[in-house]
Amino acid sequence: MNHEQEAEHIIDLYREGAEVWDNHRTQHFIEQHWLARFLELIPAGGEILDVGCGAGIPIAQYFLQKQFKVTGVDASEPMIARCRERFPQAQWHIADMRTLELEKTFNGIIAWDSFFHLTRDNQRAMFPRFAQHAQVGAGLMFTSGPDDGEAMGTFLERPLYHASLSQDEFRQRLSDNGFSVVKQVTEDATCGGRTVWLAQKQ
């Protein structure tokens, strides 16, 4: 199986592994300082789009506790079912981010540990979608790989696809779609080695 075929199996893995992933995520919350920085760009009570929201803990839960409005999208039906049960006050959609079309704009968009499962071409195509769903001044935060390339992890003892554009290309794609970089850290040691991008819609 080639890498593009592995990328197409991501959704199936997160359908099958919803309980395993959920149990892991409820025990690990090291990104809180990045979420706090993201919220500095968003007005009190603003609306946040969580792309690849998983089962809603810890990220959507954190935003809801801070009195923000949350719309979450994920292609894994079992993940969204957990979100709906836990947080009925929020909006939850079963959707593939690659075809996202909510006909609504948001004060903030986050794609944490989700966007980087797309192929590079699909990542490139996401930036117009981010822009389409972002109000002027909206924050955009996502995690990526440290540089251009593909990498395989494992989940449920099966290959788990990741990819990344180069940092220069990310900056160009953001700029081309009306976003300016606010903060970027490569392999942040305070956040499990994640490479994090925080941008704002101009």
Rg of the chain over all Cα atoms, to the nearest angstrom: 16
CA–CA separation, 64 and 70 (whole Å): 7
Average pLDDT over residues 119-142: 97
Vertex 155: Cα angle to 30 and 94 (nearest 5): 80
What pLDDT digit, counting tens, does each position of 46-99 carry? 999 999 999 999 999 999 999 999 999 999 999 999 999 999 999 999 999 999
CB atoms within 10 A of CB 81: 14
Residue 17's pLDDT band (boundaries 50, 70, 90)?
A: low
Q: Which helix (H) or strand (E) holds 109?
A: strand 106-111
Which DSSP letter does residue 27 get?
A: T
Q: Where are the domains of the chain?
A: 3-37+45-201
CATH topology of domain 3-37+45-201: Rossmann fold (3.40.50)
* Three-class secondary structure of residue 123 per DSSP: helix
Q: What type of residue is 52? A: G
Specify the pLDDT at position 6.
61
Q: Is the pLDDT of residue 155 over 80?
A: no
To which H or E segment does residue 158 belong? strand 158-164
